[in-house]
Structure 1
Amino acid sequence: MKRIYFLAPDINVTRKIVNELLLARIEEKHLHVIAKRGTPLEDLPEANLLQKSDFIPAVEQGVALGGATGLLAGLVAVALPPASTVIAGGVLLATTLTGAGVGSWLGGMVGMNVGNRRTKEFEDAIEAGAMLLLADVPPERVDELEKLVKQHIPEVEVEQTEPRIPAFP
């Protein structure tokens, strides 16, 4: 899936975009609206914590850093004299998995408290009353859907397309 960012000036334009995408067979669970705090979204699909925060990228970074740290700690443990070559593989595996687990947990905790880096550039517009619609769409339909929305709703700004989206948020 790829994420398209649509910046709409108000709720009416946002509703039109959502309706166009729904008619184009994009499921509502793949549409996420971010608005200024306290703005009533009525029947629009509101972005949840996973879309509003940096949780997923932080977990990915935590797994990588924690796993690397655990692997390094395992290599040091194996190099010390009491470790035998029979248990060396188990030590490496255990420390790598433990490091990855701790890293993902810590990364997730930090990421939930940090705003989404990819939506930071839209913060001023959102605070001024605009609405940001995130649409997760199949990669082969990105151009088609961008053109469709621009054709029917010329006042919307199609801002950017994210290279990839994790499958689970």
Structure 2
Amino acid sequence: MRKRIYWLLPDLGSAQRTMNELLLARVSERHIHFAAADGADMSGLHAANILQTSDLVESAQTGLLIGAGVGAAGGVAGAYELASTAAPAAVVIALAGLGAVLGTWASSMIGSSTPSRRLRRFQQAMAEGQYLLMVDTPRSRIEEIEALLEATHPEAHFEGLEPHVPAFP
């Protein structure tokens, strides 16, 4: 289980030095993510992708549940009319599956264009030119990573921990 550590860094140079120090501390590049204002220079940084900067994952999960529920409800209603020609359980399961797929697809399209609610509190700082660092680290290394950043970057600001990091982004 990983936790996400948030830090705000004042400029590109500080962000690049932080990236290098984390790599030297054996933090994998795929667990280091930087976000900044649109158009900001991200050279030398591992930029956060759509999974870290949007509500894609949360929206897809919501769409899956709602779509499956609506599909199952439609299947129950349709099963009464088709009871003489098809197995009612098969109709309910098929429509629940179809609803889940369509709900996931539609919700993920909306979620991919919606900025992450988790990053909303950093929007003003990023608009002012700061860089947001997100480090996904095992619980056993949280104190080590925080101590490293505090010692080497007094200009950076610790912004807290996120308790649950999705497994795949």
Question: How far, CA to CA, are the matches of 2:40 and 2:48 in structure 1?
Answer: 13
Kindly state the Cα deviation for residue 31 of structure 1 after the two structures are TM-superposed: 1.2
- Preserved CA contact (<8 Å) 2:5 2:159: yes
Whichever residue aligns with residue 165 of structure 2, its letter is I
Structure 1 residues 81 and 104: CA distance shift in structure 2, 3 A = closer
Residue in 1 that maps onto 2:74: 73
Cα deviation, residue 81, structure 1? 4.6
Q: In structure 2, what is the Cα distance between the partners aligned to 1:19 and 1:10?
A: 15
Distance in 1, matches of 2:129 and 2:16, equals 15
Q: Partner amino acid for 2:159?
A: E
State how far apart, in whole Å, the 2-side matches of 1:102 and 1:68 are: 12
Amino acid of the structure 1 residue aligned with 2:41: P
Deviation by residue 1:32-81 (Cα, 9 ceiling, x = unmatched): 11112222121111112222211111111111111121122222223x25
Match of 1:135, SS state, is strand
Structure 1 window deviating more from structure 2 (62-71 vs 125-134): it is: 62-71
Q: Residue 13 in 1 paired to residue 14 in 2?
A: yes
User: How far off its partner does 1:100 sit?
Assistant: 0.9
Residue 134 of structure 1 and its aligned partner are, at CA, apart by 1.4
- Alignment correspondent of 1:64: 65
Distance 2:67 2:82 in 1: 25
Counterpart position of 2:136: 136
Identity %, equivalent residues: 37
TM-score by length of 2: 0.89
Asked if 1:126 is matched to 2:126, the reply is yes
Deviates more, 1:100-109 or 1:10-19: 10-19
The superposition leaves residues 71-104 of structure 1 with CA deviations (integer Å, 9 ceiling, x where unpaired) of 22222223x25326x7222122211111111111
State the partner residue of 1:41: 42
Q: Secondary structure at the match of 2:118?
A: helix
CA contact (8 A) 2:68 2:96 kept: yes
Match in the other structure for 2:51: 50
Q: Report the AA paired with residue 67 of structure 1.
A: A
Moved more, 100-109 or 135-144: 135-144
> Is residue 96 of structure 1 aligned with residue 99 of structure 2?
no
After the TM superposition, list the runs of 4 or more consecutive aligned residues in structure 1 that deviate by more than 3 angstroms: none
* d(CA) in 1 for partners of 2:13, 2:126: 15
Q: Which runs of 5+ in 1 are unaligned?
A: none
What CA RMSD, in Å, does the superposition of the two structures yield over aligned residues? 1.9
Aligned match of 1:166: 166
Give 1:24's aligned residue: 25
User: Which ranges of structure 2 fall in alignment gaps of 5 or more residues?
Assistant: none
